[in-house]
Amino acid sequence: MSGEPILCVRALEKRYGARVGCTDVSFDVWSGEVMAIVGESGSGKTTLLNCISGRLPPSSGGVSYRMRDGTLRDLAELGEAERRFLMRTDWGFVHQNPIDGLRMRVSAGANVGERLMAVGERHYGRIRGAATDWLGRVEIDAGRIDDQPVSFSGGMRQRLQIARNLVTHPRLVFMDEPTGGLDVSVQARVLDLLRGLVADLGLAVIIVTHDLAVARLLSQRMMVMKSGRVIEAGLTDRVLDDPRHAYTQLLVASIPES
């Protein structure tokens, strides 16, 4: 972790009417770092992720992002076109349910190729080549390139969603429970794959999970949320091995030793 953070979150709050989605959240993320956000259902994880990825306007506080040219920009001040461009190029978003992150009725190859076209690639052969390459990297047989994701298993769909997100070499990827909908055995495979890709590409990742084992496997740092607030944050090993907050201790105590 060196140099300047890629994402800075300050005093972020999101209210839904009188209900608090998240409040008083501040943290930084550096390039190449995986940050996990954990906490029970309803603790505000998705709300926070959606606010910091520009998908939901915060009620107060701010989020700034370091552009490729090094300037730090307040997300609230980006124009809609700029924000959409970031989402297509610099950022990825891996949804829990692959249906939300894929186009189910176009081919697997087109799902990957489309993101390249969005950043200006027009050469059919190169797009096809990159799509084939990425299907291989996420362990989908090249023979399935013309099949639609509707014909894929849950694990394959999730791996395709990952390929679609990473093909443009984003700098920051948001993930909301990326393995939440998968069988345990399939989950392990997808996690393993994610871990390898994140390390190879040097991505910054912010991953929401309620599974502490996922946080342990993928992240270097983590934040624990409860009732919309971050109640504990630190290096993942420290938080899991020596939790300081009573609620974190309870969470850690409730997972079986492995």
Ligand X SMILES: Nc1ncnc2c1ncn2[C@@H]1O[C@H](COP(=O)(O)OP(=O)(O)OP(=O)(O)O)[C@@H](O)[C@H]1O
213 in Cβ contact with 181 (< 8 Å): no
231 in Cβ contact with 224 (< 8 Å): yes
**Among 23, 46, 165, 187, contact with Mg ion (rule: CB under 5 A):** 46
Applying CB under 5 A, the span of 39-47, 127-135, 155-163, 228-236 interacting with Mg ion comes to 39-47
From residue 204 to residue 233, what is the string marking binding to ligand X with x (rule CB under 6 A)? Answer: ------x-----------------------
What the block records as the tokens of 66 is 């370091």
**Among 1, 4, 11, 16, contact with ligand X (rule: CB under 6 A):** 16
- Read off φ and ψ for residue 25, nearest 5 degrees: -100, 125
* Residue 124 contact partner, candidates ligand X, Mg ion, none, CB within 5 to 8 A by sort of partner: none
In eight-state DSSP terms, residue 258 is -
State the amino acid at position 150 in one-letter form.
Answer: V
- Considering only residues 26 to 45 of the shown chain, the ones binding ligand X according to CB under 6 A are 39, 41-45
Which is nearer to ligand X, 37 or 172 (by Cβ)? Answer: 37
Applying CB under 5 A, the span of 19-27, 40-48, 105-113, 195-203 interacting with Mg ion comes to 40-48
172 in Cβ contact with 204 (< 8 Å): yes
* Angstrom distance (rounded) from CA 204 to CA 188: 21
Binding residues vs ligand X (CB under 6 A): 16, 19, 21, 39, 41-47, 210
